[in-house]
Amino acid sequence: MIDPGCFSGRKEPHLTSKILVLPTPDSLPHLTVTTPRTAPQRNCHPSIACTTSPRLSSTTFNSAAMSQQLSSALLRTCARQQLPSTVTRSAAIAAGQQRGVANAGAKFESPFASSEDPTSTLKIPNFKKYTSKSSPTTNKVFSYFVAGTMGLGSAVGAKATVQDFLVNMSASADVLAQAKVEIALGSIPEGKNVIIKWRGKPVFIRHRTSDEIKEASDIDWKTLRDPQPDEDRVQKPEWLVMLGVCTHLGCVPIGEAGDFGGWFCPCHGSHYDISGRIRKGPAPLNLEVPAYQFPDEDTLVIG
């Protein structure tokens, strides 16, 4: 079949354009076709005169041969134009392989970009009907305002909730009243014990004499079960402050009793000396000393 592009003059992108030259009848050799003479055919009936067929003229055969050779030359010319040379085929293959390979100078050409060709029929669609009338900055300001207002409201609500929660967890007024106890030391004579209540526990306050202070200091405290010198258990030598709870099972010892002139626990027989240190019995530790201070010479504050 003959490629229609051969007659229309269309060229493929990968083919080299060529001018189609058609042979003319003058350029083709004239062929003289002669036909053998045949004997005239006669009718079988003797009464009818026999007639012979006229001969084909040589001019008619020359025109038919010329048309056949013209068609053959036209087919060969179209075939040569459709078959590219080796160099052209190699260039087309290389161009196809490089298609899609981006380099530093490559850029994307949008199909909606304006064409520089004045004869271009490209029509860019108009999207103004669908675009927002307000500016993007206005929308952002409104969004930020809404987010900030919601954040501020959430912070205020969280603050109130946390504040109420902490207030409920804090100690009540009666508990705070018992947190510290103030005692007037002028009412406690020398050589006597006073028991007060602090945080639900008994507290022993002893106004020691000079002999009791000397006795507590002369003991070798390093050999005791719970080694502790008397100086570490008192802030003022004459005032001894301790929790009245036995370190064995929590009983309340009795003052001015026991084998060492201090305190004695009747529950299991623990003996404490005049400094409240364990000297005998099952108790493992000395009597606990709470936190206290002396705001002045005649006042003691526990807690």
Judge whether 232 lies within some domain: yes
Judge whether 81 lies within some domain: yes
Residue 296's domain comprises: 181-302
pLDDT score of 82:
59
Q: Which residue in 207, 248, 268, 271 is the catalytic one?
A: 268
pLDDT score of 106:
60
Q: What stretch of H or E contains 293?
A: strand 292-296
The yes-or-no answer on residue 207 being catalytic is no
Judge whether 175 lies within some domain: no
Q: How many domains does the chain have?
A: 2
pLDDT score of 36:
45
Judge whether 264 lies within some domain: yes
List the one residue out of 225, 230, 243, 212 whose CA is nearest residue 282: 225
Is the same domain home to 185 and 298? Answer: yes
Judge whether 103 lies within some domain: no
- Give whole-number Cα distances, 237 to 108, 196, 294, in Å: 95, 20, 13
Q: What is the mean pLDDT of each run of 10 residues along the chain (303 residues)?
A: 45 44 48 44 44 46 71 73 57 56 61 63 77 72 88 91 81 70 88 88 92 90 92 92 92 89 91 92 92 90 87
